[in-house]
Amino acid sequence: MSDPAWHYRGTCHRFGDDVEHDAQMISFDFVIRRVMDPEVLIPHLFETTRPDFHRRARPGDLVIAGRNFGKGKAHIQAYVAMKAMGLALACESMPYNTYRALIGLGFTFMTGCTGIAALVEDGDEVEIDFRTGAFTNHTSGVSRSFRPLPERALEIIRQGGTQGVLRAWWAARQAAATGPA
Amino acid sequence: MGMTAVEKALARASGAQQVQPWDVVYPEPALVFVHDGHVEGARRELDALGIDCITRPERVVFATDHEVVYLSPRAAARGSAIRRTARDWNVGHFYDAGRGGHGHLFPMEAGLVTPGMFVFASDMHCSNFGAIGAVPVRAGPEVVSVLAMGTLWTTVPPSVKVVLSGRLQPGVSCRDVGFRMTQALLQSAPTIDIDYRYLELAGDALDALDLHERIALCNTPTEAGVAGVFVPPSARVLDWCRQRARQPFEPVSSDPDATYEATFTFDLSGLGPQVALPGSPANAADLAQVAGTPVQHAYLGSCGSGMYEDFAIAARLLRGRRIAAGTRLFVVPGTVECAQRMAEAGLTEVFMDAGAVVLPAGCGPCAGGNMGLMDSGEASISTAATNHAGRMGPKDSKCYLGSPATVAASAIAGRITDPREFLEAIR
């Protein structure tokens, strides 16, 4: 049985190579103003490249992209919106700082999925188990197995990213300090 | 199996016998650097989680370098907040405004950071510490986790060997090399990928390079996304560090059978003066391409060119000369020690006689919007670390980067100028 927290099945939103966070995913203005409220960010996600994206995307949908997704500075506003919308991501590659930022945010994703962008069309029905790396395109009938994120990264995401890890660590420390002798 | 120097430092800090590229480890840093712009945010984040103390505060360094002179009420309030936090958290090494100077430079001079040491820092230009053979890793905003828990998950970066050969021509410096080498590395993609790779410098050219030149070589690749630059320390660099070290240290070096993801060679001897065109420090171009471009703004300093020797080169050109009318030159010593040496050696006088504005030690105009700004439509030539649009003023002001000699020559002429025109002065 697959773990429901890691298991996504929905419509594929396909993107190509070199999608830059600033401007292409969301306006840089939100970055400068340090806006982190997903309700504010969601209507603007992909608004210049995919108008109405926020109306068409449903929880469980998958963003599938080519190489160098999230290039440029590792800003996170677009991923904050994607996470709040219940989306997950699989791509062929991304800069390391983007990779770190996504794990730190507690966002469900997979990278290093060589060739994945060629396996999908926009609108296909796709399924990914992010724990095992199993990928299926139900529209075309193609299946593949990709390498999931390292176990330690999955654990950080499961705890809710950097904030979740810190919260859990502090709670455990407090409990140890006040617990029975 | 052999390990690279970086892998050895990470293994040692993580209590592991062996690590390999892409392993995830939890290293304990010897020091944790938090720069002035990041203290308030870190405090706010930990306060929100109810975390009221930090792990191993004696290893934490607060550096005041981005905003040394408070130019707004907000900046003055931030200074107070930093001081309060340093006290509340019992921070072991608090360098307030006017103390230390640039946090990517003074820790080496002060003997805080030593060869072989693994450190975390909030700012990516901690990569400078690679110049003495230390192994710094940028924690970015996750420095909050390091402060709280004393460690942070860290991916062991693969190493790429960069072999430097040949000797620099007169009038050409390691900043010129940095611009061109970084561009060449980026152009080698996808054969060579430098994203989160640790560059390890090697080759015949290395031994002759002084510390300020090694620092210059660490600077520009950092802007292109490397995890760091490791420069195996020469006997001279190790001596310099020993004289300053507060504690004994153990350098790291790569095993002969260490594995590198790629090897890249770069010949220094064929290189002329370079300019990084506005937009990225890796936009290297032969200076001749833009020679004659008028500059209203010039600036010497930053983490890439903030050592005494960098200013000595510029002063040799400026001695007895005046900066062009219509051009203003800001001189920002990297560290307080550097500023003192400049004063003692008469360099400060040379700069002031030439008509330059000497600012306090720190980042200077490179910090982005803090001081020494340009007006709309103006152009600058500087030794800053970066030159993205809007870095030192409005978006339509232009930031060219060059070596200290190029900046000095250009300030004298009021236009971008090949320093070899003053060759006899810089030999």
SS3 for B222-268, per residue? HHCCCCEEECCCCHHHHHHHHHHCCCCCCCCCCCCCCCCCEEEEEEC
User: Do the chains contact at B196 and A163, CB–CB below 8 Å?
Assistant: no
Phi, psi at B35, each rounded to 5°:
-85, 160
What is the number of alpha carbons within 13 Å of residue B168 lying toward its C-beta?
A: 19
Q: Specify which residues A127 forms β-bridges with.
A: A9, A136
Give the span between the Cα atoms of B89 and B112, in whole angstroms: 20
User: With a threshold of 0.90, does the pTM exceed it?
Assistant: yes
pLDDT at residue B356, as a whole number: 98
What does the block give as tokens for B223? 């802007």
Verify cis geometry, omega within 30 degrees of 0, for the bond prior to B190.
yes
Q: In sequence order, what are the residues at sequence separation of 6 or more whose Cβ sits closer than 8 angstroms to the Cβ of residue B117?
A: B9, B30, B31, B129, B134, B135, B249
Contact B392, B366 (CB under 8 A): yes
Interface residue of A96, A99, A151, A167 to substitute, partner B, most B CBs within 10 Å: A96
Return d(Cα A66, Cα B391) in angstroms, integer. Answer: 31
Q: What is the pLDDT of residues A126-135, one digit of tens each?
A: 999 999 999 9
Chain A interface test: which of B51, B123, B151 (most A C-beta within 10 Å): B51
Interface contact flag, A100 B50, Cβ < 8 Å? no
Position A73 scores a pLDDT of 79
Residue B2 domain flag: no
* Same domain assignment for residues B170 and B243: yes
Q: Is B49's CB within 8 Å of A170's CB?
A: yes
Contact B149 A166 (CB under 8 A): yes
From chain A residues 110-169, the ones with a CB under 8 A of any chain B CB are 150, 152-153, 156, 162-163, 165-167, 169
DSSP letter (8 states) at residue B356: P
Name the nearest CA neighbour of B78 among B40, B123, B35. B40
Task: Report pLDDT for A4.
Answer: 67
Task: List chain B residues with CB under 8 Å of A104.
Answer: 141-142
The ranges of chain B with pLDDT < 70 are: 425-427
Residue B3 lies in a domain: no
Q: Say which residues have a Cβ less than 8 Å from residue B74's Cβ, sequence separation at least 6.
A: none
The chain B residue lying nearest A104, using CA atoms, is B142
What count of other Cβ atoms lies within 10 Å of the Cβ of residue B26? 15
State the pLDDT at residue B420: 96
Q: Are residues B223 and B317 in the same domain?
A: no
Q: Is A59 on the interface with B (CB under 8 A)?
A: no
B16 touches chain A (CB under 8 A): no
How far apart are alpha carbons A157 and B283 in whole angstroms?
A: 37
The answer, for B189 touching chain A at a CB cutoff of 8 Å, is no
Domain boundary among B234, B267, B300: B267
Domain final position from B267, B292, B317: B267
Out of B140, B149, B155, name the one closest to residue A169 (CB): B149
Give pairs for B135-140: CB < 8 Å, separation 24+. B135/B5, B135/B6, B135/B9, B135/B10, B135/B228, B135/B230, B135/B252, B136/B228, B137/B27, B137/B227, B137/B228, B138/B227, B138/B228, B139/B32, B140/A97, B140/A100
**Chain A, nearest residue to B227 by Cα:** A96
Say if residue B293 is in the same domain as residue B407.
yes
Q: Which domain holds residue A160?
A: 4-178
Residue B237 maps to a domain? yes
- What ipTM, to 2 d.p.? 0.84
Task: Specify whether B52 is located in the same domain as B164.
Answer: no
Tell whether B113 and B183 lie within a shared domain: no
Number of helices and strands in chain B (H, E)? 13, 18
The SS3 of residue B64 is: coil
pLDDT value at residue A75: 87
B229 & B304 share domain: no
For chains A and B, CB pairs below 8 A equal: 42
Residues on chain A touching B24 (C-beta within 8 angstroms): 150, 152-153
Residues B286 and B417 in one domain: yes
A169 contacts in chain B (CB < 8 Å): 148-149
Total structural domains within chain B: 3
Pick the last residue of a domain from B267, B302, B337.
B267
What is the model's pLDDT at position A33? Answer: 78
Best residue in B45, B155, B223 for a mutation probing chain A (most A CBs within 10 Å) = B155
**Same domain flag for B62 and B37:** yes
In DSSP terms, A133 is beta-bridged to none
Residues B135, B25: one domain? Answer: yes
CATH number at residue A12: 3.20.19.10
Whether the CB of A34 is below 8 Å from some CB of chain B: the reply is no
CA–CA–CA angle B49, B54, B58 (5° rounding): 165
A2-26 pLDDT, tens digit per residue, is 676 899 999 999 999 999 998 799 9
Domain holding B242, by residue range, is 159-267
Could you tell me which residues come within 8 angstroms of residue A157 by beta carbon, excluding any fewer than 6 positions away?
A103, A106, A107, A108, A149
In a shared domain, residues B281 and B163: no
Q: Would you tell me which residues 114-143 of chain B have a C-beta closer than 8 angstroms to some C-beta of chain A?
A: 140-142
**What would the pLDDT profile of A38-97 be if each residue is shown by its tens digit?**
999 999 999 999 999 999 999 999 999 999 999 887 889 999 999 999 999 999 999 999
Chain B residues with CB under 8 Å of A102 CB are none
Judged on CB neighbours under 10 Å (0-12, 13-18, 19+), B355 is middle
Are B29 and B120 members of one domain? yes
E-strand ranges in A95-133 read 109-110, 125-129
Shared-domain flag, residues B164 and B254: yes
In a domain, B377, yes or no: yes
Residue B193: the pLDDT is: 95
Taking alpha carbons only, the member of B218, B204, B192, B210 closest to residue B164 is B204
Tokens at B167, concatenated: 């000797």
CATH number at residue B99: 3.30.499.10
